[in-house]
Amino acid sequence: MRPPREGEPLLSAELRELLARSADKADAAGEPDPEALAGLRGSGLLGAAVPVEHGGLGGGGGLVNRVVEDIASVNPSVAIIAFQHFAVSARIAEHGSAAQRERWLPRLAGGGLLAASAWSESGAGAAKRTLASGGRRIDGGRWLLSGSKTFTTGAGVADLYLVLVQTSEPVATGDGYGAQGQTFFLVEAANPGLVPDLGLELAGMRGSATGLIALADCVVPDADRLGPEGGAVGIIAGVRESGASLGAVSVGIARAAVDLAVGHARAQGLLGLPAVRLRLAELATRLEAARAVVTVAGARTSAEVGLMTLHSKLHATAAAEDVCLEVARMLGSAGYREGARIGRLLGDARGVGLMGPTNDLCRELVAATWNG
């Protein structure tokens, strides 16, 4: 698949229809729809963050944000799974050894492998400076990983996990994310020491396969360590420099809500009312403003790329929640039913702000830039 041109549709009509259908099924079941994931794998879009020389689309944060927004406009849960896949792909492309890039990237680009991040855990805090999960060297050039991870998106459906564990005494890094002494490992789902559990009942993003990961005597070779031992904090610090933003998920959600409101007004014959048109215009402006901020982040044209990525998430998540709430008011009783799409969109919109880095941590990272 060639890299898409600017403005070119990213999702085929068939894939859009499949993802829209599966969003209803997944929300009711509280688990991902295998048919939707198969469609994502076969779409050719999973190579968005993989260099062309490894079979990908060669895009940076800008293309990732476009793909994620488009998916989120019909199925936010699948968009979150895709975003995590892109994040892992980019980390391997940036920090992997030549052997790791050759081994993993072509299959990540082609959809043969789906990737997920396993960083969070209970008690670690949003900044993940105090991990309980750990890794220690054992004989034969291997590592033994143990502990558990929570809120792993793609748990049980991913083929490859980027796992963050403590491998030496932690050293605080001030206002940053993570701590010195933490290390990343690439762990295959087939590893018997990695056990997923989809036991989390979420209020939103119910088809995102967000659950728990247990590391039960999980043995991995040193060749599957990503980056330097104890140096994960340096990799984490560069993540937002890519411009890939979770705000793109929020833009997709807001886009879906605005489309829903316009469709409702048209079907009810309300577009002739000036008050309705003005409200819809205001919502469309909020959407376009959020998209503009996320676009700037992905283009990496601002003076402070990482800071812009943080701003894009904060602004887009707030805009999406506000838009969804206003659309719910406009729909009235039509939106106040079990299974109403606007209710699902609102729950999904709220979920994005809780995903790492959480909005509160984003605010702390922004404020830290004023410390001199």
Write out pLDDT tens, residues 51-99.
Answer: 999 999 998 999 999 999 999 999 999 999 999 999 999 999 999 999 9
Give the mean pLDDT of 26-36.
Answer: 92
Residue 18, both tokens? 């499949």
Write out pLDDT tens, residues 102-113.
Answer: 999 999 999 999
The pLDDT, as a whole number, for residue 75 is: 98
Whether residue 320 contacts residue 349, with contact meaning beta carbons closer than 8 Å, is answered with yes
Q: Using pLDDT thresholds of 50, 70 and 90, give the confidence band for residue 291.
A: very high
Which of 36-40, 157-161, 194-198, 259-263 is least confident? 194-198
Give the mean pLDDT of 305-329.
Answer: 98
- What is the DSSP code string of 280-305? HHHHHHHHHHHHHHHHHHHHT-SSSH
Give the mean pLDDT of 121-147.
Answer: 88
Q: Which is higher by pLDDT, 5 or 110? A: 110
Whether residue 213 contacts residue 152, with contact meaning beta carbons closer than 8 Å, is answered with yes
Residue 68, both tokens? 């994620």
Q: Is pLDDT at 176 greater than 70 in this prediction? A: no
The pLDDT, as a whole number, for residue 8 is: 77
Dihedral, CA of residue 293, residue 299, residue 301 and residue 304, to nearest 10: 70
The pLDDT, as a whole number, for residue 338 is: 82
The pLDDT, as a whole number, for residue 372 is: 66
Q: Which is higher by pLDDT, 336 or 158? A: 158
Which of 2-11, 45-54, 146-155, 288-297 is least confident? 2-11
Q: Using pLDDT thresholds of 50, 70 and 90, give the confidence band for residue 126.
A: low
Q: How far apart are CA 211 and CA 167, in angstroms?
A: 24
Q: Using pLDDT thresholds of 50, 70 and 90, give the confidence band for residue 115.
A: very high
Question: What rounded mean pLDDT belongs to the chain?
Answer: 94
CB within 8 A of 346, min separation 6: which ones?
204, 321, 324, 325, 328
Beta strands in 125-193 (DSSP E): 134-138, 142-152, 160-171, 180-188
Q: Using pLDDT thresholds of 50, 70 and 90, give the confidence band for residue 7.
A: confident
The pLDDT, as a whole number, for residue 9 is: 81
Q: How far apart are CA 195 and CA 55, in angstroms?
A: 30
Can you tell me whether residue 164 is helix, strand or coil? strand
The pLDDT, as a whole number, for residue 241 is: 95
Whether residue 335 contacts residue 343, with contact meaning beta carbons closer than 8 Å, is answered with yes
Residue with tokens 């491998």: 167
- The reported pTM is 0.96
Q: What are residue 143's DSSP bridge partners?
A: 137, 220
Q: Is pLDDT at 371 greater than 80 in this prediction? A: yes
Q: How far apart are CA 41 and CA 18, in angstroms?
A: 13
